[in-house]
């Protein structure tokens, strides 16, 4: 079963997305900030991580870099609500950032990205 | 006009005045010196005259002693008797008088003893004074017959001579000095009457005093006076020069200024060939019973010699004046240099200040007066600088406030954009969820999706309200309000959770304020307190107090406190530690409070917001 780590400080958004992902058959782990996300990432070794950039304690970028240190080929998608630091985006891309998506997004977009990057496991489902 | 010129002119006037005064003082001194010199000369002349008279009197007195001598008197007496007898015999024979006289002369009795005595006297004087005092000495009897001849050559009969008759009549004769070929010297003939004890005329003593002897002392004195540039003359009563310390060949010439001499003492000036002589004179007045010769002692002194010292002083004064003028010009130039330089410096300072260069370094002046001006400049520059800086700061702070506001609005916009996108994302995802659920509103959807969507909409509304409250500063509408009522109505607008107890003040205070706005403040503060307490049980205590200068309202909670490092930032717009906060609540509170002219502050442990309401 594909494990998805979904990170967002907005608990309502996090709840809805978890609800949706569970509905289509993914196991979803959540975190509300960067720090928590990194811990969950270590514990669960998710197949893909979808993470908001603007978060308290540790932002999405920093969490991204830490995760990449832990696991070089970690699959991570970042979500932005607003303008982001382009340098960090470029750096993240050079380190293998899968995608950048903007709020508000179609849930289909999330679904497609997950399918695209975790084909085998989706087939299993 | 340059300061230098004034200084030079001023100093020059001073110097000229000084010099003129000095010259006047000098002139007065010259006159004084002349007077003193003349007075001194008069004294000297008088003294010399007096000494001369005393000397002559002494000499004459010495010879008078001879006339008192008994031997002399006896000898003359004898001679007179003898002469009388012969005369009687001759009268009887009725002979011609002239022949008689001749016969008497022929037969005259010369007293050899007396003659010898006179010679002894002469020798005595010669020995004592080491020069010839008497050039001629002889004695006649009452008939003028020479009875004793000490020295010289004499006729036998003297009774027909004027001097003899004057002597017989007046008792004393003094003749004019004359050069005697016989004695090769100038002599003064003197006749002394010889009387017996009863005062009867016995005969005459004739002496010729050596002029050189009489003048001996005077010559010595004259020599000393000559060294002082004084010429001494003795002239006789007819104005003939008897002695001149200047030259010997003046002897018995007429003294040129004789007409000017009258009186016992006196002085006059005589100018010739651009030379002025001061002439002082003293006339002989005799000594005791000696009536004097009626001669005059004259002292001539050249004006130049009197003023010799003074003229040195005059020259020095001229040199001092010239040097002084030089110095004045030098001093003037030096002062000018320093003053001009100082003034230039001051002008420089003023120019720089005028240009607005307040950082121009003011060099200290060596002169106190200029330093005072420079200090004033320094002070003025400091004050202006401060003023400008204050103005600048004010302008800057105003701009900063404006900029901060613009920045805050900018940030607010971006924050708003971000914060609205989250709830939008919730709604969008919610719609996606509903779309996917073909069965419509299943209980699951109703439970998981709808409340979230509703919350998202509420959140968006809240965000927009907050921003509007912050951005839109509406004018306040103040009225007297009951603080208690404002607090109560604020609480009514909030749903106070059951776990929280809220205490409101017992005493009311009346406050002049905008009710609506102050309610916003209380709502924000109470909401903050509720959020800080969270799910635990807690208390919110609102209290009021009246103080001397102000009233206070305090809102205290025992919830999670504020971290110390955040104390300063909590009133800053957009600062928030909450996940869903806008960071505008306290900023809005602060704005409203300040709009009222109040102040708001925060204390921690426990968290307490204090609103100070100053008495108007």
CA distance, residue B420 to nearest chain A CA (Å): 9
Q: What is the mean pLDDT of residues B243-272?
A: 81
**What three-state secondary structure class fits B103?**
helix
Q: What is the mean pLDDT of residues B61-77?
A: 82
Look at the pTM and tell me if it is higher than 0.90. Answer: no
Structure tokens that stand for B317 in this block: 């004064």
Q: What is the mean pLDDT of residues B506-529?
A: 89
Give the residue, B455 or B306, on which the prediction is more confident.
B455
Q: What is the mean pLDDT of residues B143-160?
A: 74
**Is residue B171 a contact partner of residue B159, using CB atoms and an 8 Å limit?**
no
Alpha-carbon distance of B338 to B4, in angstroms, equals 10
Task: Give which of B421, B563, B577, B578 to mutate to test A binding, by max A Cβ within 10 Å.
Answer: B421
Q: What percent of chain B has pLDDT over 70?
A: 93
For B426, which of A9, A16, A108 is closest by C-beta distance?
A16
Under 8 Å CB pairs connecting chains A and B tally to 70
Q: What percent of chain B has pLDDT over 90?
A: 7
* Residue B616 contacts A, CB cutoff 8 Å: no
ipTM: 0.86
Helix A11-23 / helix B368-436 crossing angle, nearest 10 deg:
30
| Res B380: pLDDT | 82
What H or E segment, with its residue span, contains residue B125? helix B112-129
Closest CA to B230 of B44, B36, B35, B27: B44
Contact across the interface for A83 and B452, Cβ inside 8 Å: no
Confidence category of residue B274, pLDDT binned at 50, 70, 90 = confident
Contact across the interface for A16 and B436, Cβ inside 8 Å: no
* Residue B456 contacts A, CB cutoff 8 Å: yes
Q: Given a cut of 70, is residue B95 above it in pLDDT?
A: no
**What three-state secondary structure class fits B511?**
strand
Q: Which residue of B has its CA nearest to A54?
A: B418
* Residue B38 contacts A, CB cutoff 8 Å: no
CA distance, residue A81 to nearest chain B CA (Å): 5
Contact across the interface for B422 and A20, Cβ inside 8 Å: no
What H or E segment, with its residue span, contains residue A13? helix A11-23
Alpha-carbon distance of B388 to B405, in angstroms, equals 25
Alpha-carbon distance of B294 to B261, in angstroms, equals 12
Q: How far apart are the first and last CA of chain B?
A: 63
Closest CA to A84 of A115, A60, A111: A60
Q: What is the DSSP letter of B498?
A: T
- pLDDT tens digits for B3-57? 767 877 887 888 888 888 888 888 888 888 888 888 888 888 888 888 888 888 8
Q: What is the mean pLDDT of residues B526-552?
A: 89
Alpha-carbon distance of B266 to B279, in angstroms, equals 8
Cis (ω within 30 of 0) for the bond into B571? no
For B421, which of A11, A12, A104 is closest by C-beta distance?
A104
Confidence category of residue B174, pLDDT binned at 50, 70, 90 = confident
Contact across the interface for A12 and B426, Cβ inside 8 Å: yes
- The pLDDT mean for chain B works out to 82
| Res A124: pLDDT | 44
Q: What is the mean pLDDT of residues B277-299?
A: 84
**What three-state secondary structure class fits B352?**
helix
Contact across the interface for B455 and A12, Cβ inside 8 Å: yes
In Å, how far are A44, A52, A61, A65, A79 from A85, measured between CA atoms?
29, 14, 10, 14, 13
Q: Given a cut of 50, is residue B218 above it in pLDDT?
A: yes
Contact across the interface for A105 and B455, Cβ inside 8 Å: no
Q: What is the DSSP letter of B507?
A: S
Contact across the interface for A103 and B429, Cβ inside 8 Å: no
Q: Given a cut of 60, is residue B102 above it in pLDDT?
A: no
Q: Which residue of B has its CA nearest to A33?
A: B579
Ranges B56-65, B435-444, B482-491, B535-544: which has the least confidence: B435-444
For A20, which of B414, B417, B433 is closest by C-beta distance?
B433
| Res B361: pLDDT | 81
In angstroms, how far is CA B419 from the centroid of its own chain?
A: 88
Say which residues have a Cβ less than 8 Å from residue A54's Cβ, sequence separation at least 6.
A9, A60, A80, A81, A82, B418
For A12, which of B433, B444, B456 is closest by C-beta distance?
B456
| Res B579: pLDDT | 58
| Res B580: pLDDT | 61
**Is residue B114 a contact partner of residue B140, using CB atoms and an 8 Å limit?**
no
In angstroms, how far is CA B378 from the centroid of its own chain?
A: 31
Q: Which residue of A has its CA nearest to B580?
A: A10
Contact across the interface for B429 and A104, Cβ inside 8 Å: yes
B444 to chain A: which residues are within 8 Å by CB?
19
- pLDDT tens digits for A15-34? 999 998 988 889 999 999 89
Q: What is the mean pLDDT of residues B419-435?
A: 86
Confidence category of residue B497, pLDDT binned at 50, 70, 90 = confident
**Is residue B234 a contact partner of residue B218, using CB atoms and an 8 Å limit?**
yes
Ranges B16-30, B122-136, B293-307: which has the least confidence: B122-136
**Is residue B91 a contact partner of residue B233, using CB atoms and an 8 Å limit?**
no
Alpha-carbon distance of B234 to B248, in angstroms, equals 12
Q: Given a cut of 50, is residue B562 above it in pLDDT?
A: yes
For A104, which of B414, B428, B433 is closest by C-beta distance?
B428
Chain A residues contacting B via beta carbons under 8 Å: 9-13, 15-17, 19-20, 23, 32, 54, 56, 81-83, 103-108
| Res B610: pLDDT | 94
Apex CA A106: angle with CA A101 and CA A111, to 5°?
80
A19 to chain B: which residues are within 8 Å by CB?
433, 444, 448-449
User: What are the φ and ψ backbone dihedral angles of B143, each rounded to 5 degrees?
Assistant: -105, 5
For B432, which of A54, A82, A107 is closest by C-beta distance?
A107
DSSP symbols for B324-336? HHHHHHHHHHHHH
Q: Given a cut of 60, is residue A123 above it in pLDDT?
A: no
Block residue for tokens 């006196």: B266
Alpha-carbon distance of A51 to A74, in angstroms, equals 13
Q: Given a cut of 90, is residue B159 above it in pLDDT?
A: no
- pLDDT tens digits for B233-252? 888 888 888 888 877 777 77
- pLDDT tens digits for A52-83? 988 878 889 999 999 999 998 899 999 987 76
Structure tokens that stand for A7 in this block: 């990170």
| Res B321: pLDDT | 81
Give the residue, B151 or B246, on which the prediction is more confident.
B246
A103 to chain B: which residues are within 8 Å by CB?
421-422, 424-425
Q: Given a cut of 80, is residue B439 above it in pLDDT?
A: no
Task: Give which of A34, A104, A106, A112 to mutate to test B binding, by max B Cβ within 10 Å.
Answer: A104
CA distance, residue A36 to nearest chain B CA (Å): 15
Q: Given a cut of 90, is residue A7 above it in pLDDT?
A: yes
| Res B276: pLDDT | 81
């Amino acid at each position: 079963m594909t494990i998805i780590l979904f990170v967002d400080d907005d608990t309502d958004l996090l709840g809805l997305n978890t609800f949706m992902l569970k509905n289509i058959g993914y196991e979803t782990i959540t975190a509300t900030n960067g720090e928590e996300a990194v811990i969950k990432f270590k514990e669960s070794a998710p197949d893909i991580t979808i993470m908001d950039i603007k978060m308290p304690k540790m932002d999405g970028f920093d969490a991204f870099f830490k995760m990449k240190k832990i696991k070089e080929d970690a699959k991570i998608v970042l979500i932005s609500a607003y303008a982001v630091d382009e340098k960090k985006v470029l750096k993240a891309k050079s380190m293998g950032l899968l995608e950048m998506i903007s709020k508000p997004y179609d849930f289909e977009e999330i679904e497609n990205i997950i399918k695209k990057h975790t084909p085998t496991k989706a087939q299993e489902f | 006009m340059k300061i230098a010129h004034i200084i030079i002119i001023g100093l020059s006037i001073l110097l000229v005045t000084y010099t003129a005064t000095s010259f006047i003082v000098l002139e007065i001194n010259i006159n004084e010196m002349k007077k003193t010199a003349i007075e001194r000369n008069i004294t000297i002349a008088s003294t010399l005259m007096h000494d001369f008279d005393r000397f002559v009197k002494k000499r004459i007195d010495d010879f008078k002693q001879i006339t008192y001598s008994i031997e002399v008197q006896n000898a003359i007496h004898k001679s007179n008797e003898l002469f009388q007898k012969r005369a009687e015999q001759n009268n009887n024979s009725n002979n011609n008088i002239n022949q008689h006289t001749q016969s008497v002369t022929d037969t005259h009795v010369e007293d050899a003893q007396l003659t010898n005595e006179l010679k002894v006297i002469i020798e005595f004087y010669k020995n004592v004074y080491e020069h010839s005092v008497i050039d001629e000495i002889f004695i006649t009897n009452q008939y003028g017959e020479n009875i004793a001849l000490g020295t010289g050559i004499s006729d036998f009969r003297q009774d027909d001579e004027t001097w003899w008759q004057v002597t017989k009549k007046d008792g004393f004769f003094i003749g004019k000095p004359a050069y005697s070929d016989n004695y090769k010297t100038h002599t003064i003939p003197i006749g002394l009457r010889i009387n017996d004890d009863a005062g009867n005329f016995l005969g005459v003593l004739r002496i010729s005093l050596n002029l050189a002897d009489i003048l001996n002392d005077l010559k010595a004195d004259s020599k000393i006076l000559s060294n002082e540039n004084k010429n001494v003359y003795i002239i006789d009563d007819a104005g003939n020069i008897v002695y001149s310390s200047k030259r010997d060949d003046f002897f018995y010439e007429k003294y040129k200024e004789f007409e000017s001499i009258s009186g016992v003492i006196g002085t006059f000036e005589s100018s010739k060939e651009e030379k002025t002589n001061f002439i002082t004179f003293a006339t002989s007045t005799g000594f005791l019973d000696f009536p004097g010769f009626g001669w005059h002692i004259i002292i001539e002194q050249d004006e130049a010699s009197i003023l010799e010292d003074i003229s040195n002083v005059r020259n020095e004064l001229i040199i001092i004046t010239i040097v002084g003028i030089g110095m004045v010009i030098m001093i003037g130039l030096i002062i000018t240099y320093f003053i001009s330089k100082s003034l230039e410096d001051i002008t420089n300072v003023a120019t720089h200040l005028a240009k607005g260069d307040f950082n121009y370094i003011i060099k200290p002046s060596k002169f106190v007066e200029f330093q005072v001006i420079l200090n004033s400049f320094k002070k003025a520059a400091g004050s202006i600088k401060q003023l400008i800086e204050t103005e600048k700061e004010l302008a800057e702070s105003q701009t900063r406030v404006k900029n901060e506001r613009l920045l805050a609005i900018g940030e607010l916009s971006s924050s708003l954009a971000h914060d609205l996108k989250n709830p939008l994302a919730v709604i969008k995802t919610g719609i996606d969820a509903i779309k996917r659920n073909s069965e419509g509103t299943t209980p699951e959807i109703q439970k998981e999706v709808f409340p979230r969507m509703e919350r998202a909409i509420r959140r968006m509304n809240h965000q927009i309200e907050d921003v509007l409250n912050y951005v839109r500063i509406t004018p306040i509408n103040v009225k007297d309000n009951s603080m208690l009522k404002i607090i109560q109505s604020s609480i009514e607008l909030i749903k106070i959770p059951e776990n929280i107890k809220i205490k409101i003040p017992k005493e009311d205070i009346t406050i002049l304020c905008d009710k609506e706005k102050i309610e916003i403040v209380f709502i924000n503060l109470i909401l903050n307190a509720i959020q800080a307490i969270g799910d635990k049980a807690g208390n919110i205590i609102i209290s009021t107090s009246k103080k001397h200068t102000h009233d206070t309202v305090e809102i205290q909670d025992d919830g999670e406190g504020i971290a110390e490092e955040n104390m300063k930032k909590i009133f800053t717009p957009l600062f928030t530690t909450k996940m869903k906060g806008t960071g505008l609540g306290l900023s809005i509170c602060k704005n409203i409070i300040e709009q009222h002219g109040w102040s708001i502050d925060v204390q921690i442990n426990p968290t307490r917001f204090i609103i100070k309401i100053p008495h108007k």
